[in-house]
Amino acid sequence: MIESFGRRMNHIETLVSISIKIILDNLPLYIKDDVKMLEILPFQLKNIILKRFTSSSYFWRNIDFKTVLSAVVNVYTSQIDLTSVVVDDEMLGILTNSKNLTKIYLSRSNGNLMTTTGLTNLLRHTKDLYIFLAANCDKIDDTVLECLSNCCPNLMGLDIRGCKNVTDCGVKYLSKLRNLVWLTFSNTQVSDDGLVCLAEGPSGENIKELRIENCSKVTEVGLDAIAKNCRNIEGLMFDNCSLTDSTVTLFQAEKLKHLKQITWTFSL
């Protein structure tokens, strides 16, 4: 009986996969004839379609992306990956239709059209957010980080590498959060002041991974605060900061028991 049930489940999964493929292959027809056919689908199917739909740049280049996005994003959508998409404020506004977003991925090396206002408006609707990735975006600034701090108390992971307008002010907002586990500030304006606040904040003991490569204003002062306060850190990457060859002794002396990976460079 168990084997028979298993075969039936596999058969059902295959039918679901085939159905989704048919829907994706015929998206232009749905948009042209009756987009409501997408809107009435069960949320489980919508979320599977959303994941497949947003994974390829083909769709936003060749299909009315916003219309489909609006039809399939729903209140039960928990994560969105728009790393293949040129994102603008209208798309961010569509995402506010889900009150249960926990993961948002927006990174794209260039071409994004979103604004700081659009980002903060989205974040005000994502109180359950715990992972936010938006690297290489000049619209990510201290205002956005303040909004994250105020509206997303469960934030655990943040990657804003290459966001040139992020400064210590933004990091100080984040330092008020209690659940931060991994953070990437590489290629930003973050310096010792921000790192000290972060390390001494309520998340200090929770942080397991920190990337601060190419932050020229970071010195032994900031790293000393990390060594003293981030006792559970497992990975620390700080290549190309303003350091000397004695930096590594900070971590040897403190005997961080959980440290598994550390990378750095220094100038003679």
Q: Are residue 16 and residue 106 in the same domain, yes or no?
A: no
Q: In whole angstroms, how far apart are CA 87 and each of 39, 91, 101, 221? A: 22, 6, 17, 38
Same domain? 65 vs 79: no
Q: What is the pLDDT along the chain (268 residues), one digit of tens a residue?
A: 445 545 554 555 677 788 888 888 888 877 776 778 888 889 999 999 999 889 888 887 888 889 999 999 999 999 999 998 889 999 999 999 998 999 999 976 666 789 999 999 999 999 999 999 999 998 999 999 999 999 999 999 999 999 999 999 999 999 999 999 999 999 999 999 999 999 999 999 999 999 999 999 999 999 999 999 999 999 999 988 887 766 666 665 456 788 888 887 755 5
| Contacts of residue 183, Cβ cutoff 8 Å, sequence gap at least 6 | 157, 158, 159, 174, 198, 207, 209, 210, 211
How many CA atoms lie within 13 Å of 145's alpha carbon, on the beta-carbon side?
27
Residues 87 and 70 in one domain: no
**What's the pLDDT score for residue 173?**
98
Are residue 108 and residue 204 in the same domain, yes or no?
Answer: yes
Is 128 in the same domain as 197? yes
Of the candidates 115, 175, 186, 182, the one whose C-alpha atom is nearest the C-alpha of residue 149 is 175
From 49, 74, 99, give the residue that closes a domain.
74
* Residue-level pLDDT at 105: 96
Q: What is the pTM of this model?
A: 0.87
- Looking at the structure, do residues 91 and 41 belong to the same domain, yes or no? no
Q: How many domains does the chain have?
A: 2
| Residue 255 to residue 248: CA distance in whole angstroms | 11
Residue 238 sits in which domain range? 75-264
Comparing CA positions, the residue from 99, 137, 136, 100 lying closest to residue 118 is 137
What DSSP letter does each residue of 7-63 carry, written as one string?
HHHHHHHHHHHHHHHHHHHTHHHHHHH-THHHHTS-HHHHHHHHHHHTT-HHHHHHS
Q: Indicate if 87 and 32 belong to the same structural domain.
A: no
- Answer yes or no: do 138 and 249 share one domain: yes
Q: Do residues 118 and 140 make contact, with C-beta atoms less than 8 angstroms apart?
A: no
Confidence (pLDDT) at 117? 97
Looking at the fold, whether 91 and 158 belong to one and the same domain comes out as yes
For residues 149-171, one letter each, b for 16 or more C-beta atoms within 10 angstroms of the residue's C-beta and e for the rest, the string is bebbeebbbbbbbbbebbbbbbb
Are 55 and 93 members of one domain?
no
Where does a domain end: 74, 95, 110? 74
Q: Which CATH number fits the domain that encloses residue 238?
A: 3.80.10.10
Last-in-domain residue among 54, 74, 94: 74
As a whole number of Å, the CA-based R_g of the chain is 22
d(CA 138, CA 141): 7
The verdict on 136 and 20 lying in the same domain is no
Tell whether 97 and 168 lie within a shared domain: yes
